[in-house]
Structure 1
Amino acid sequence: MEAPRGKVQTVLGLVEPSALGCTLTHEHLSHCATGKPFQPTTPPGHEKYTDAPYTLENLGWIRQYPYSHKENIIFCGSDVQQAVLDDIKLFKLNGGGSIVENTTNGLNRDLNFMQKVSVETGVNIIAGAGYYVAGSQSTSTLDNSIEYFAGVMKRELLEGASGTTIRCGVIGELGCSWPLHDFEKRVLQAAGLVQSELKCPVIIHPGRDENAPEEILRIFTEAGGKADKIVMSHLDRTIFDRAKLLEFASMGSYCEFDLFGIEVSHYQMSSKVDMPSDAQRISFIHSLVEEGFEDKVVIAHDIHTKHRLKKYGGHGFSHILLSVVPTMLNRGISQTVIDKILIHNPAQWLAYNISY
């Protein structure tokens, strides 16, 4: 099958880029990754809370240590999927149009559920092909070659993934650690090969170090991939120096701030990092806009645990539309620029290139 030139591949088929509307570029609707890589150390003296019931009384602790609460990281099953479905219906009512679902091999994606959500809500869902971090993979998967990984990605994009005929519309999120695992490097090289052939969009989960995004971009482009078809995720927990952020933006990839709604400074996955607030995320985006990078910014929430869904006391998938956008306007980011960030930039990225 040929790549869909000039179109966007959703789980229900091809659509025009102009049909996407407001697009969240980094979310999860369902995954079953209850162990690695979501298994940080529980702080001493807090062990009794890991098996505690999910109640309002415990919600404050869960928000502080989301990956230590065993029930909170179970993001699959009928109850969670109903909560997600209800949340996406609200996203649609609040002006949402499309969601890029970043669950890849290693996180146990559910393409049939993605299709169900799209049918019942009218929201376009774009599924991700490829592999998450090395720590989420089996030993047999880790040993495969660049050519093998490239073949899997092509099949998932052009024929169907996870034993279905549902086609993915983006490569990623491709999971990278710091330092980069050899398996992850081979996956990046495979993605570069596939992207150079199919002209498809790619999205990356960088390692937790300010040097990781640049290293990833170098490996990907040396393999033949194009920087202008990459979204580099999680920059709001990765690059904190504005000069370094601007330097990275100048390399040509899309810069994604995708942890909107997380307002707890304690970051379990890296004790050296102070998680920024939504206000700080907006400030970094404002800096990029002022320096001329408004065409290279995309945003999302990266929802993948229960506590961030509305049913479980969270902000839900409408948080950006209901709360972040008004604050952006209040901070001097124009509606025109916001439309670029939420509508035009995702559409430009997600459309398979017609030429180059």
Structure 2
Amino acid sequence: MSGVVRTVLGDVPGDRLGVVDAHDHLFIRSPLLPGQELDDADDAAARLAAFRDLGGGTVVQWTPYGMGRRADRLAELSRRSGVHVVAATGLHQAVHYAPELLDSVRDSLAELFVREITAGVAGTDGVRAGLIKVAGGFHGLDAHARLTLRAAAEAQHRTGAAVAVHLELGTGALDVLDLLCGELGVSPDRVILGHLNRSPDFAVHRLAAAEGAYLGFDGPSRANHATDWRMPEALEALADAGFADRLLLGGDTVTPDTPGMPYLLRRVRPRLELALGRELVERVMVANPAEAFALRTP
């Protein structure tokens, strides 16, 4: 039996989430993507409606603190669309922020994360985050990644929320697990590793799954990433190895031209069903996220 998932409209039993887009963005802004911001509420509403009309039930927005997540609009969008939305707290890589913003929060990150999960995000009418989003580095962990992962671990212990980790180009998964789980004591089933499709190293995938972490395959149809064409093979290999219960799927819309959440259900899901069978795909999109995103009493 799954626990409750903290959505922007309140806590919801995991078994009521329906089909879940486990990693996406309704709003996001970064200095690395000038002029490609996702900040249009009408566009976000249209994407949610399209996702709902294709059978979608929940979208997990991984946009963390300070990156234009527009938490004040998420409750209204969820209410209008009928789609559950899970918001994130956390902090991305340093390159996504102005130095002065990082200076203002560096010494109180864990407190910030805990407050946004338990009390609510500032400037909203009680919207609470249900997820802690942080990031690793390319094939390792830099000082900023270690700082944010340590804060995320403290917040996880205090709130029971899962820690979702951006893996740069899909690398560094085992380094993340060594720090979060090996050193900092986070249970591996409270860790969600994102972008593993970008580095189709099946041995690393299997080792991370064997530790107990959730593996996110997200960002479909990006021409510069090894995504769609390797995804069925990667998922099948993990399922055959006994790790079907560790798998998650997401659209990861980060720019206006990303196919995103409707594409996930309109094109990716049927393709995976053809290769893997409907039962496995339903497990990945319904049962697994109900467990992965549930709050666990610390």
TM-score by length of 1: 0.77
**Does residue 4 of structure 2 align to residue 7 of structure 1?**
yes
5+ residue gaps, structure 2, are none
Equivalent pair of 1:134/1:181 in contact (CA under 8 Å):
no
Distance 1:145 1:301 in 2: 29
The 1:207–1:320 alpha-carbon spacing in structure 2 relative to 1, beyond 3 Å, is closer
Deviations 1:6-34 (A, max 9, x none): 3111111111111100001111101232x
Q: How far 1:231 moved relative to its partner?
A: 0.7
Which of the two has higher C-alpha Rg? 1
Which residue pairs with 1:347 in the alignment?
A: 290
The alignment's C-alpha RMSD in Å is 2.0
Deviation larger for 219-228 or 200-209: 200-209
Q: What is the aligned partner in structure 1 of residue 88 from structure 2?
A: 128
Instruction: Map Cα deviations across residues 267-314 of structure 1 (whole Å, 9 max, x no partner).
Output: xxxxxxxx2241311211111111111000000110011112xxxxxx
**Cα distance per residue 1:239-280 (max 9 Å; x no partner):** 322223212221211011001232x1x3xxxxxxxx224131
Number of equivalences: 294
Give 1:145 deviation, angstroms.
8.2
CA distance in 2, matches of 1:339, 1:219: 32
More helix per residue: 1 or 2?
Answer: 2
Instruction: Give the Cα separation in 2 of the matches to 1:209 and 1:127.
Output: 22
The code of the aligned residue for 1:75 comes to L
- The residue type paired with residue 32 of structure 1 is R
After superposition, residues 49-128 of structure 1 pair within 5 angstroms as 71=35, 73-76=36-39, 80-128=40-88
Q: How much does 1:148 deviate?
A: 1.5
Measure how far apart 1:318 and its partner are.
1.9
**One-letter amino acid of the structure 1 residue matched with residue 214 of structure 2:** Y
Give the AA of the match of 1:297: L
SS at structure 1 position matched to 2:141: coil
Q: Report the Cα offset of residue 338 of structure 1.
A: 1.1
Distance 1:240 1:339 in 2: 22
- Counterparts in 2 of 1:209 and 1:24: CA distance versus 1, 3 Å: closer
Helix, strand or coil at the partner of 1:232: strand
Residues 261 and 182 (structure 1), Cα distance of their counterparts in 2 relative to 1, 3 Å cut:
same
Report the alpha carbon displacement of residue 316 of structure 1 after superposing the two structures with TM: 4.3
Paired residue for 1:303?
253
What is the match of residue 67 of structure 1? Answer: none
TM-superposition CA deviations, 1:142-174 (whole Å, max 9, x none): 4578862111000000011133221001111x1
Match of 1:233 among 194, 207, 220: 194
User: Which stretch of the first structure deviates more once superposed, 340-349 or 253-262?
Assistant: 253-262
**Residue number among 275, 292, 296 corresponding to 2:242 in the alignment:** 292
Gap regions ≥5 residues in structure 1? 39-69, 267-274, 309-314
